[in-house]
Amino acid sequence: MHLSESARAVFDVLAATGAATRPQLAAGAGLSKPTVSLAVAELETAGLAACSGTASGATGRSAAVYRLGPAAGAVLAVDLGPTRTRVRGCALDGTLLAQGDGSRPGAAGTVREVLRELPAGAPLRAVVVAVGDVTARDREGTGMRPATAKAGPAFDAMAVALPEGVPVHLENNVNCAALAELHEGAARGRDTFGYLRIGVGIGLGIVVGGRVLRGANGAAGEVARLPYPWDEGRAPGPEALERHMGARSLLRRAAQAWQDGDGARPRTTKRLFALCGQGHATARAVVASHAADVGRLAAAVTAVLDPGLIVLGGAVGAEPQLLPGVRAELARLSWPTEVVSSEVGDSGTVAGAARLAVARGIHTVTGDPAGSAVRGRP
């Protein structure tokens, strides 16, 4: 789609604000009022902007209010989690249009449900799919099937549900969650921090200067690949640190520590932390040991990045009872660094993916890769 430079600038302002009068568009885009009038007319003709009513100004005069038009379309964000699939459909101004939640094997059905709820006739501009372990060559896709080596069968099934020809972009799920923390979670107001996810697996989202650091291969933050262990007589193994710190290993250690008088062994991490909160001695000891492990990983992150802030997320990492032990171990091993629990919870990944999808969708309309910086989006 070819738009004039002024029309692209006005579209960017509408996408960022959701609604604006012509004077507001002129101020936001840095254009004269006559130029804005021409740009608005161009966007209206293309169906990319529409008058949605009037607003009274300070002088009592009414001014037309403009919003994105139906041809601006929508985007889709998909979080293919270990067990759940979360999907959001959004307008290009970030407005939530539809959402769904289902099992990972049922990803295609969840995507279809959300697509059916989007406005009829609205073009789907972009899809961002959050998965684990994405490299640079996996990230970009055209049509329905980008590189899927790291995404697996659930992605293949989901891709079939997408309209033909829609750009599909893979993104690391931890990076998406980090973006959610940056814009609407525990890292608001901080432009540099680390988001450390501890759950079934482990991962690190690195935000520097308000942007996610991806690295030369798109694999920055893959802390699962850190060498572990470093003991004499034991050589580090591939992803051995993740196997040690993941939720399954935590439950195995809990089972090994359980005593005859401790009652039923916890079969989920949620139950383990519930027992810890109730003062169960063995559960408290297991959680304290795990918190120390997480604190050591946080110390490694701090030594390399000096992020100033570490946000703990994931099914295990976000547990408040982990926080004191992590803080204590990090303080023992490194310089002062703030550690807080995630505020976005399970919805963080799809929320971050939606932000990326909106930025991608706007780019398909304006063709302006710098527009995301103007809008304050990733």
> Could you say which of 71, 97, 118 is where a domain stops?
71
Domain count of the fold of the chain: 3
Residue 16 has pLDDT above 60, yes or no: yes
pLDDT per position as a tens digit, 302-321? 999 999 999 999 999 999 99
Phi and psi at residue 373, to the nearest 5°: -70, -35
Q: In which band, very low, low, confident or very high, does the pLDDT at 59 lie, cut at 50, 70 and 90?
A: low
CATH code at position 33: 1.10.10.10
pLDDT given at position 262: 96
pLDDT per position as a tens digit, 309-366? 999 999 999 999 999 999 999 999 999 999 999 999 899 999 999 999 999 999 999 9
Examine residue 180 and state whether it is found in any structural domain, yes or no: no
pLDDT given at position 260: 93
Same domain, 120 and 133: yes
The percent of residues above 90 in pLDDT, for the chain, comes to: 77
Quick one: which of 84, 87, 86, 88 has its CA closest to 104? 84
Contact 194, 326 (CB under 8 A): no
Examine residue 101 and state whether it is found in any structural domain, yes or no: yes
Q: In which band, very low, low, confident or very high, does the pLDDT at 1 lie, cut at 50, 70 and 90?
A: low
Same domain, 217 and 361: no
Phi and psi at residue 92, to the nearest 5°: -75, -5
Same domain, 304 and 205: yes
Examine residue 116 and state whether it is found in any structural domain, yes or no: yes
Question: Residues 204-227: what's their mean pLDDT?
Answer: 93
Higher pLDDT, 133 or 23: 23
Q: Decide: pTM greater than 0.85.
A: yes
Examine residue 257 and state whether it is found in any structural domain, yes or no: yes
pLDDT given at position 104: 87
CATH code at position 334: 3.30.420.40
Same domain, 78 and 43: no
Contacts of 47 (CB under 8 A, 6+ apart): 69, 70, 71, 72
Contacts of 361 (CB under 8 A, 6+ apart): 73, 74, 75, 92, 125, 126
Same domain, 98 and 164: yes
Quick one: which of 375, 358, 378 has its CA closest to 124? 358
Residue 15 has pLDDT above 80, yes or no: yes
Same domain, 146 and 199: no
Same domain, 122 and 209: no
Same domain, 20 and 150: no
pLDDT per position as a tens digit, 240-272? 999 999 999 999 999 999 999 999 999 999 999
Same domain, 328 and 360: no
Same domain, 211 and 332: yes
pLDDT given at position 152: 67
Contact 181, 196 (CB under 8 A): no
pLDDT per position as a tens digit, 127-177? 999 998 765 545 555 443 443 444 566 677 777 788 888 999 999 999 999
Same domain, 230 and 170: no
pLDDT per position as a tens digit, 281-300? 999 999 999 999 999 999 99
Q: Provide the residue range defining the domain that includes 273.
A: 186-343
Contact 183, 348 (CB under 8 A): no
Quick one: which of 208, 205, 207 has its CA closest to 196? 205
Examine residue 138 and state whether it is found in any structural domain, yes or no: yes
Phi and psi at residue 375, to the nearest 5°: -80, -5
Examine residue 241 and state whether it is found in any structural domain, yes or no: yes
Q: Which two tokens stand for residue 48?
A: 């990319």
Mean pLDDT score across all residues of the chain: 90
pLDDT given at position 61: 76
Three-state secondary structure along the chain? Answer: CCCCHHHHHHHHHHHHHCCEEHHHHHHHHCCCHHHHHHHHHHHHHCCCEEEEEEEECCCCCEEEEEEECHHHCEEEEEEECCCEEEEEEEECCCCEEEEEEEECCCHHHHHHHHHHHCCCCCCEEEEEEEECCCCHHHHEECCCCCCCCCCCHHHHHHHHCCCCCCCEEEEEHHHHHHHHHHHHCCCCCCCCEEEEEECCCEEEEEEECCEECCCCCCCCCCHHHCCCCCCCCCCCCCCHHHHHHCHHHHHHHHHHHCCHHHCCCCCCHHHHHHHHHCCCHHHHHHHHHHHHHHHHHHHHHHHHHCCCEEEEEHHHHCCHHHHHHHHHHHHHHCCCCEEEECCCHHHHHHHHHHHHHHHHHHHHHHCCCCHHHHHCCC
Question: Residues 187-197: what's their mean pLDDT?
Answer: 97
Same domain, 322 and 236: yes
pLDDT given at position 163: 85
Examine residue 160 and state whether it is found in any structural domain, yes or no: yes
In sign, the C-alpha dihedral spanning 11, 16, 17, 23 is: negative
